[in-house]
Amino acid sequence: MTAIQYFWRHPLAEQVREEGREEGREEGREEGREEGREQGRAEAKAEMILHILEWRGIEVTDAVRERVEACADLGRLEVWAQRAVHATDAAELLAGE
């Protein structure tokens, strides 16, 4: 009796699967790096917003600090950074939000 060689167990099929796994891992690593860079940009911008308020002598409440530090939206952080330059109170950053 001869053994049946199923295609999915064939060495060529295994090689193709392994190549697909490797490509998937590389794509995942690149996506992870990009997400990490974006997160780093958001954290740096949030830190700068809080520094601007601090340098201007504006007291930052814990609620405002937590909201700014938790934000990952670069567009929103940019708006808050512009507001930080002109604000007279830390709550003005979040006005209308």
Mean residue pLDDT across the chain: 84
Greater confidence, 23 or 84?
Answer: 84
Indicate whether this model's pTM tops 0.95. no
Residue 34: other Cβ atoms inside 10 A? 10
Q: What is the pLDDT of residue 46?
A: 94
Rg (CA), the chain: 25
Average pLDDT over residues 44-73: 94
Higher pLDDT, residue 32 or 79: 79
Is the pLDDT at 2 greater than 70? The verdict is no
Q: Is the pLDDT of residue 4 over 60?
A: no
What is the distance between the alpha carbons of residues 76 and 97, in angstroms, rounded to a whole number?
Answer: 10
Residue with tokens 């990009």: 34
